[in-house]
Amino acid sequence: MWIGSLKLRIATKDASDAGTDSLVTAMIVRDGHDVVDLKLDWPTEDDLERGAQRDYTYYELPRHNDKTPELPPGISQNPMPYPNFGVEFSDKLAGHLKLRLRIHGDDMWIKDNADLFIKEVRRIATSFDTEAWQQDSDWAYVATWSKDVALSKDDDEGVTTWTLILN
């Protein structure tokens, strides 16, 4: 399966000192290997503030094959054995996908809910004898992580990283 686009719906706890001005990132981890680092940051917004909920949407993720080998240079296939973009999870998502949240500054942040949605890229028939890669048009809900977690570089306030595991 290929994740072409990913959306994280992130809620900050509605409590004093829960919001942050520090950068928070979410690393896509596949079978223990870091794949893509995503910034939870809207450049035009003061996001991750107390009680805020934002959708962080990442379209056409860079291609990262899992078990599908790259074709050798100079060799082409129609359609290719993999799409032009997306992160492959050869053994599906459960037990293989993790999102590692990391805070990069000194200002603590308290995560409330994190919801994951994806658009899968699939090989579909375009006529009786041809196929092409196409991304789903609708978002598919995958999971919610609801445990409140304080992220901070200060050990007295929280942890620097927190891993959301999809079982």
Q: Give the CA angle between residues 64, 67, 70 to the nearest 5°.
A: 65
CATH number for position 64 = 2.60.60.20
Q: Which residue stretches of the chain have pLDDT < 50?
A: none
Quote the domain boundaries for residue 127: 2-165
- Sequence-distant (6+) residues with CB within 8 A of 131 are 79, 123, 124, 125
Handedness of CA 45, 50, 53, 59 (dihedral sign): positive
pLDDT of residue 46: 86
Q: What is the pLDDT of residues 129-158, one digit of tens each?
A: 899 999 999 999 999 999 999 999 998 999
Distance CA 56, CA 49 (A): 14
Check: CB of residue 104 under 8 Å from CB of residue 55.
no
pLDDT of residue 100: 98
pLDDT of residue 44: 86
Distance CA 151, CA 1 (A): 31
| Residue 36 tokens, joined | 């893509």
pLDDT of residue 22: 94
Provide the domain count of the chain: 1
